[in-house]
Amino acid sequence: MKVELVTNVLDANTAIAEQNRQFFAAKGVFVLNLMSAPGAGKTTILEKTIEALKDQIRIGVIEGDICTTRDAERIAALGIPAVQINTDGACHLDANMILRSLQNLSLEDLDLLVIENVGNLVCPAEFDLGEHYKAMVISVTEGNDKPTKYPLMFKESQAILVNKLDLLPYTDFSLEVLKQDLETLNPQAQVFPISARTGEGVVAWSQWLVELASSIKSK
Ligand SMILES: Nc1nc2c(ncn2[C@@H]2O[C@H](COP(=O)(O)OP(=O)(O)OP(=O)(O)O)[C@@H](O)[C@H]2O)c(=O)[nH]1
Ligand SMILES: [Mg+2]
């Protein structure tokens, strides 16, 4: 009997991710993998996005954290289906965790599924979950050196949200410098300056999501 050797853990992950992607396509759900360093504002951005889009599209959220159900509780409080995955120490989500969590979500009832990954600027970008697009958040308090020091997530993301714009005057962060770095790392990325605190920029970002969710329906 022929034995298939899976050469590494990433190969195994990619195979499950591909299954997830086919499943999402069959259900007509657009899936976004949202990543960032801890505390950049992923959940707060999601809260604002849900407020903006709740009456336009049907959103569901998978929350990934090392421990606690805090983020899923924040999302569920807005009346949105939310599933919490606890990774028990792992610094990223993987495709198998997503596959198992789908038992607790009714994909038929969703247009957009956002997966909030574990707060970490490195590992989550290495693992395909079966999403259609990746997006990441960098907050202005993190410094302009992050794209060049931690390039993978910036390279892999179709959208880059620059959050905490309300704090810009108190930092030395420059949007221009970020855009210059992205010209080398990822010139195709959509950049959305945003403040989840004040709501600035939420409309443009939300509209982008609506267009993606409707594009998958029309396929
Ligand atoms: N001033 C300011 N604070 C913000 C903004 N967005 C988020 N915060 C704050 O930043 C902190 C972290 O926000 P979260 O949304 O929990 O960040 P997160 O990326 O989901 O964090 P993890 O899930 O732990 O990785 C909270 O105290 C938020 O209130 C913003 O636009 N401006
Ligand atoms: Mg969060």
Q: Tell me the pLDDT band of 2, cut-offs 50, 70 and 90.
A: confident
Q: What percent of the chain has pLDDT over 70?
A: 96
**How much is the mean pLDDT over the chain?**
95
Spans of all domains in the chain: 9-217
Distance separating alpha carbons of residues 196 and 162, to the nearest angstrom:
10
| Model pLDDT, residue 172 | 98
Distance separating alpha carbons of residues 33 and 97, to the nearest angstrom:
13
Please give the number of the atom of ligand 1 that sits closest to the Cα of 37: 25
- Statement: residue 75 has pLDDT above 80: yes
The Cβ of residue 70 has, within 10 Å, a number of other Cβ atoms equal to 11
Question: What are the backbone angles phi and psi of residue 138, rounded to the nearest 5°?
Answer: -120, 130
Distance, CA 16 to ligand 1 centroid (Å)?
31
Distance separating alpha carbons of residues 207 and 199, to the nearest angstrom:
14
| Model pLDDT, residue 173 | 98
Please give the number of the atom of ligand 1 that sits closest to the Cα of 137: 19
Instruction: Determine whether the shortest distance from the Cβ of 71 to ligand 1 is under 6 A.
Output: yes
Alpha-carbon 218 to chain mean position? 23
| Model pLDDT, residue 166 | 98
Q: What percent of the chain has pLDDT over 90?
A: 92
Instruction: Determine whether the shortest distance from the Cβ of 146 to ligand 1 is under 6 A.
Output: no
- Statement: residue 3 has pLDDT above 80: no
- Statement: residue 218 has pLDDT above 70: no
| Model pLDDT, residue 129 | 98
Query: Mutate which of 34, 43, 44 to test ligand 1's pocket (most atoms within 8 Å of Cβ)?
Result: 44
| Model pLDDT, residue 19 | 97
Instruction: Determine whether the shortest distance from the Cβ of 197 to ligand 1 is under 6 A.
Output: yes
- Statement: residue 219 has pLDDT above 90: no
Nearest CA to ligand 1 atom 2: 164
Burial class (CB in 10 A: 0-12, 13-18, 19+), 48: buried
Interhelix angle 202-217/42-53, rounded to 10 degrees, is 70
What's 9-217's CATH class?
A: alpha beta
Distance, CA 8 to ligand 2 centroid (Å)?
30
- Statement: residue 160 has pLDDT above 90: yes
Question: What are the backbone angles phi and psi of residue 190, rounded to the nearest 5°?
Answer: -85, 130
Distance, CA 150 to ligand 1 centroid (Å)?
20
Instruction: Determine whether the shortest distance from the Cβ of 158 to ligand 1 is under 6 A.
Output: no
pLDDT tens-digit profile of 85-112? 999 999 999 999 999 999 999 999 999 9
DSSP labels for 37-103? STTSSHHHHHHHHHHHHTTTS-EEEEEEESS-SHHHHHHHTTT--EEEEE-TT-SS--HHHHHHHGG
Instruction: Determine whether the shortest distance from the Cβ of 69 to ligand 1 is under 6 A.
Output: no
- What value does the mean pLDDT take over residues 58-65? 98
pLDDT tens-digit profile of 5-32? 666 667 899 999 999 999 999 999 999 9
